[in-house]
Amino acid sequence: MTGTQRNLLMFGAMAALIVLTGFTQSWNSALAIINMGLISAVMALGVNIQWGYAGLYNVGTMGFVALGSLAAVLVGLDPVPGAWEAGGLRIFGALAFGALVIALAALIYRRMDRGKTRALAVAALLAGGFILYRFLLDPAVDAVEAINPAVQGNLGGLGLPILLSWPVGALLAAGAGWLIGKTALGLRSDYLAIATLGIAEIVIAVLKNEDWLARGVKNVVDIPRPVPYEVDLRANPDFLSVVQWFGADPVSAAAVAVKLCYAGLFLAVLLLLIWLSEAALHSPWGRMMRAIRDNEVAASAMGKDVTRRHLQVFVLGCAVLGIAGAMLATMESQLTPGAFQPLRFTFLIWVMVVVGGSGNNWGAVLGGMLIWYLWVQVEPWGSSLMSLVTSGMADGSPLKQHLIDSAAHMRLLVMGVILIVVLRFRPAGLIPGK
Amino acid sequence: MSPDTTQAEPYLVGEAMTGGYGAADILKTCTITAAKGEIAVIVGPNGAGKSTAMKALFGMLPLRSGSVRLGGEDITALQPQQRVAKGMGFVPQTHNVFTSMTVEENLEMGAFLRRDDIRKTIEQVYDLFPILREKRRQPAGELSGGQRQQVAVGRALMTEPQVLMLDEPTAGVSPIVMDELFDRIIDVARIGITILMVEQNARQALEIADRGYVLVQGGNRFTGSGRELLDNPEVRRTFLGG
Amino acid sequence: MDAANALVAFTNYVLLPGATYGAQLALGALGATLIYGIMRFSNFAHGDTMAFGTMATILVTWLLQSIGISFGPLPTALIALPVGIIATATFVLATDRLVYRHYRRNKVPSIILVMVSLGVMFVMNGVVRMIIGVDDRQFADGARFVFTAAQFKTWTGLAEPIALRVSQVISLIAAVVVVAWLYWFLEKTRTGKSMRAFSDNENLALLSGINPERVVAITWILAAALATIAGVLYGLDKSFRPFTYFQLLLPIFAAAVVGGLGNPLGAIAGGFVVAFSEVAVTYSFRKVATYLLPDDWQPDGLLQLLTTDYKVAVSFSVLVLVLLFKPSGLFKGKAA
């Protein structure tokens, strides 16, 4: 059996698992798994670009995904009336001022000679700048957050088509990636890991607490959609006639139809990204990247600027993560910062990449689909297992209740075991990189 | 080529050693011996397999054929640590001291396998290298290159070895320090320890050597006493620069 | 009098909480830095090791409480602690045997070990949540205060109080004792010295006959003990919740990197640097200022640099500053 055949077989098996879910559970859940699986595949692709192409270890996936989701709000939502006049401009003025202060401090640091004077000057500038920044920012934030706080209290977005937020999400995430890459690339790989872990937490902290930006933990729930709404479909006579022809139930048919639209969009993005990254990998740039990955020392001895190349790859990978985040928020029509958990949005993505096969785009896709499938399915499996185990126990016994409750956390354990077992016995993953 | 085959076997013998890290052999039927209390020196051009030969003797290179014997006992199958226990000491060329630990702690670590009182051995090392006594409380990383090499040799002496192997002990030290180091090595040999060393500075090393080996491409090219090799016109022309 | 009040307020709200939290972080960072020093990888499962150890201690505490054993004014958890440490050490030694040892023997790049530790993190996380659940757990019993705010006010006659909690005193004393013991162990004992030697120069340590498996096992046991102690102290001081412990990973790594990864002394210093930065940056200095400034200079704002929601940003900023200006840490670490 050739490699291609084996890979096709594995994708076939994956498809069979999902079809099985369609028959045994519902087509709606099967499609839900496909859609989130596709988004997960895009995330895995982003991590794979960084890890598989360049060996960069990013454990801040969650942060870049969240920035992409933020883009969906900032692009897709209509502007909140009066918010810009009330304080929006001043907020951006304050942010620009803050950036200016930091730039000035950096300039002073570079221009002045080392010594007490420099340290004092930089400290004084930063302290003064910070006070002034807060003086500018705080009233504006209060003003914006005072506008109709029950449903708004934020600036809103630009009112542009939501699909535009996907590239914008890429840009936002890429920007953050550039900043962090500038700091931590070129140091030990562990340091990049710790730095990305931190930036992810900060992004989430900002999303949770800056209500003027995206309502914080009050969530944004009405991000416009690029596809029809179920209610509209159910009222559409053409749709109903088609549904009737299939002999299906209009409510579930509408849900399935909407999910199919999303699936089409996501699949298009995924294929485009794979095509782009395969093309990049086979270009002279990609060959150089692989040369650097295989032997960093030799590559830098040949005059390649390794850190610069790494920065490029890192930023590209972050951009892909940003797209995935925007896709996620678009599909869910909402931004819930509290839902961003590192286990789910960082470490699970890593399981996908490792299981799929680091360095291989198709591996990332397969890993994304498979691990997402397992993540969704292990919980009900665990519950059935626990009810089987506890079936002999008396109802209402605290141990029985505890065991049944604990099933919810079984998937963490399962994911850990999968990761460990794959790393140990098949370190190249299901579809090894070339 | 082997003038003393008729006599009793030398203390350390690596006989017809053949082997390498990958498919290609670096050593080709290379034979190195050193008798008790003797200074044996391996010299040769870059890439001749000098350090590899020493590693093979110490068990850090898998041998395809040939054997290593110590005091008549076949130790070919032993791990380096087991050879330390058998009385071999090894001083690597680089990274040969614990830089963050004091001189005295370095010596203590050298004696890690010993369970008896090591105070006496430490004193002997200090007698041999008086500068170390002075710097006993200082981290080894803060010492000069020559002093560090003394710490390295001292560490290896702590197991009270019968054979001390030194991989280019004078690499990177100044000529004056080099002379002093060689003097110290002669002192060590005088207390009855067999010395085997690999040296870049072939001429100076052969001058103190009882036995010299010139290796080329992993095999023995010339063998003889240090004096003989120094006097051999071909060795002089090819390896000692005239 | 005003100056005394200002000082008291500062002590109560910044110095004491900072020192307590710093002691807890320092112990956590010590464990992470020991593992790094010996095995050369950042152990992402360290936060969950803390959670596991705390969980084990809590379970034993409950058991002790249910059979009526207590420790007088001190928390029962302190009696349970040794059992928690043994359970945690057993667990991490088992993971080493089943998981890490294979990679160590094959001399894989350290980043693979980091990845493996992610798997272990998932497993530990799952185990902890399955056994004890995800909720907040208070397990501190015994006396709450060494002296209360009211007592302090009557003694001193000051307007501002200091309340000294038992958990704070325990954290500080435990940290001092543990650090002193660890220092003695690493500096004076044969085993401790062999660990330092192994961390300094692995090959030379092998040449000297130091048994790597023994060094690694002792490192795991020490790291498990330190993690459990740090976790229990943190839990006594605040509360136990698995997710919070997982999130402690960032300040712990920040502390270890700030001090210089692999350097025990650095980990302690780093723990306090990170803790004091977090507390000072998120504390509202208004009260202190009201005592120190003349009446007509009184500030309107809270004089708080960042809200407590951005605590995580503080440890991160400290980390970034160190990475930018002194990547090997304040004390010389093993990594450049």
Residue among C228, C175, C222 at smallest CA distance from C49:
C228
- Residues ≥6 apart with Cβ < 8 Å to A373: A14, A17, A18, A21, A33, A37
- Please indicate, yes or no, whether residues A216 and A238 belong to a single structural domain of this protein: yes
Contact C84, C232 (CB under 8 A): yes
Question: How close C118 gets to chain A, by Cα (Å)?
Answer: 7
- pLDDT of amino acid B1: 43
What is the rounded average pLDDT of the residues B228-240? 87
Closest chain C residue by Cα to residue B101:
C197
| CATH number of the domain enclosing A156 | 1.10.3470
Residue B92 phi/psi, 5° resolution?
A: -65, 165
- Please indicate, yes or no, whether residues A165 and A91 belong to a single structural domain of this protein: no
CB < 8 Å to A409, chain C: 125-126, 129-130, 134
Residue among C253, C287, C119, C1 at smallest CA distance from A419:
C119
- Say yes or no for a CB contact (<8 Å) between C250 and A201: yes
Residues of the domain holding C114: 2-325
Give SS3 for B123: helix
Is A100 within the bounds of a domain? yes
Q: List the single residue in C111, C246, C323 with the smallest CB-CB distance to A183.
A: C323
- Please indicate, yes or no, whether residues A279 and A358 belong to a single structural domain of this protein: yes
Q: Which two tokens stand for residue B141?
A: 């990383």
Is C247 within the bounds of a domain? yes
Question: What is the DSSP pairing of strand B12-19 with strand B88-91?
Answer: unpaired
pLDDT tens figures, A264-300: 999 999 999 999 999 988 899 888 888 888 777 777 7
- pLDDT of amino acid C334: 63
Residue B242 banded pLDDT, cuts 50, 70, 90: low
- Please indicate, yes or no, whether residues A26 and A102 belong to a single structural domain of this protein: no
- pLDDT of amino acid B5: 45
Is C330 within the bounds of a domain? no
Range in A323-327, A346-350, B78-82 the model is least confident about: B78-82
pLDDT tens figures, A47-85: 999 998 888 889 999 999 999 999 999 999 988 888 888
| Residues in chain C, pLDDT under 70 | 300-301, 333-336
- Please indicate, yes or no, whether residues A248 and A289 belong to a single structural domain of this protein: yes
- Please indicate, yes or no, whether residues A142 and A152 belong to a single structural domain of this protein: no
Q: Does the interface ipTM go beyond 0.85?
A: yes
- Please indicate, yes or no, whether residues A267 and A321 belong to a single structural domain of this protein: yes
d(CA B37, CA B39): 7
Q: List the single residue in C115, C250, C261 with the smallest CB-CB distance to A423.
A: C115
Q: Which two tokens stand for residue C158?
A: 């000051």
- Please indicate, yes or no, whether residues A87 and A228 belong to a single structural domain of this protein: no
What is the rounded average pLDDT of the residues B178-186? 90
Q: List the single residue in A194, A199, A409 with the smallest CB-CB distance to C130.
A: A409
pLDDT tens figures, A302-340: 777 888 889 999 999 999 999 999 999 999 999 999 899
Is A276 within the bounds of a domain? yes
The structure's pTM equals 0.90
- Say yes or no for a CB contact (<8 Å) between C309 and A427: no
More confident: A295 or A98: A98
User: Does residue A55 sit at the C interface (CB-CB below 8 Å)?
Assistant: yes
User: Does residue A413 sit at the C interface (CB-CB below 8 Å)?
Assistant: yes
Average pLDDT, chain A: 89
- Please indicate, yes or no, whether residues A179 and A252 belong to a single structural domain of this protein: yes
Q: List all chains that touch chain A, counting a touch as 3 or more CB pairs closer than 8 Å.
A: C
| CATH number of the domain enclosing C215 | 1.10.3470
Residue among C269, C265, C261 at smallest CA distance from C187:
C265
- Please indicate, yes or no, whether residues A132 and A154 belong to a single structural domain of this protein: no
Q: Which two tokens stand for residue A265?
A: 């969009």
- pLDDT of amino acid C336: 39
Q: List the single residue in B81, B92, B96 with the smallest CB-CB distance to C209.
A: B81
What is the rounded average pLDDT of the residues A104-126? 88
- Say yes or no for a CB contact (<8 Å) between C316 and A343: no
User: Does residue B208 sit at the C interface (CB-CB below 8 Å)?
Assistant: no
d(CA A355, CA A374): 12
Is C334 within the bounds of a domain? no
More confident: B7 or C110: C110
Is A1 within the bounds of a domain? no
Contact C290, C300 (CB under 8 A): no
Structural domain spans, chain B: 37-48+78-212+220-239
- Say yes or no for a CB contact (<8 Å) between B92 and C204: yes
More confident: B78 or C328: B78
More confident: B115 or C52: C52
Residues of the domain holding A141: 82-147
Q: Which two tokens stand for residue C283?
A: 């504390």
Q: Which of A147, A166, A198 is the last residue of a domain?
A: A147
Q: How many domains does chain A have?
A: 2
- pLDDT of amino acid A1: 61
Best of B21, B84, B112 to mutate (most C CBs within 10 Å, chain C): B112
- Please indicate, yes or no, whether residues A141 and A185 belong to a single structural domain of this protein: no
Query: Is A353 a residue whose pLDDT tops 60?
Result: yes
Closest chain C residue by Cα to residue A189:
C111
Is C41 within the bounds of a domain? yes
- pLDDT of amino acid A98: 92
* C137 strand-pairing partners: C240
Taking domain B37-48+78-212+220-239, whether its CATH number is 3.40.50.300 is answered by yes
- Say yes or no for a CB contact (<8 Å) between C201 and B99: yes
Q: How many domains does chain C have?
A: 1
More confident: A409 or C185: C185
